[in-house]
Structure 1
């Protein structure tokens, strides 16, 4: 009976550590983008998806994450994360972020897309660099509409 109890504890620990839904640090200069296969080097535009089972997909830009999302069962996604433009390397919840598309801020894939943890930082950067602000939902519609134009 004691052995069964030990196996149960080990199995529970295994499940806990295997299915940990949390971000993983990006190894800039070494990790590759899961969508476009480019090496991730930009510390202000990278992104991650973490599945509900804890699998992490890393991207060199939020737009790669959005494009990959369309090829994935989104019910399996636990987290959408983007780098915070105001604090390089900090991953933030993309679904709660404010996004700025500004042609005065280049991004790895040319979408000029940057994420901000709070709207005030996004507005301040927009005042300096110009552009348009988006919520996560608005951004998804923007990219869907843009891809619909390309697919015609």
Structure 2
């Protein structure tokens, strides 16, 4: 039997999806999640916005990178490998067909304070301009 004696981590993650109909900013993001600028917790959501922007990847670019290594990989199979549900895959494909921007990424419990807080929560918001969904420990 082997016993691990060095540092052991039990990190968590939250996957997120953002669908945008054009450019968006921190105010659009926070208000989509139901947090107006005058809210006492607006700064927390501003920190979350900054972290999500840093961790966001365009879903089509990510697919092209993965497809380069695995040429036979379809876009749908790529999304399934990212553990998206069938309903979210349909939402993503429809958004791309409607020429919207689609971003994916994850938050980690190893990140900053806002990231560590939201990694243990699911969050959702939908507005005319944005669709935001974060699911703890993936889809």
TM-score by length of 1: 0.21
Greater Rg, structure 1 or structure 2?
Answer: 1
**Per chain length, whose mean CA-contact separation is higher, i.e. which structure has more relative contact order (CA < 8 Å, sep 6+)?**
2
TM-score by length of 2: 0.23
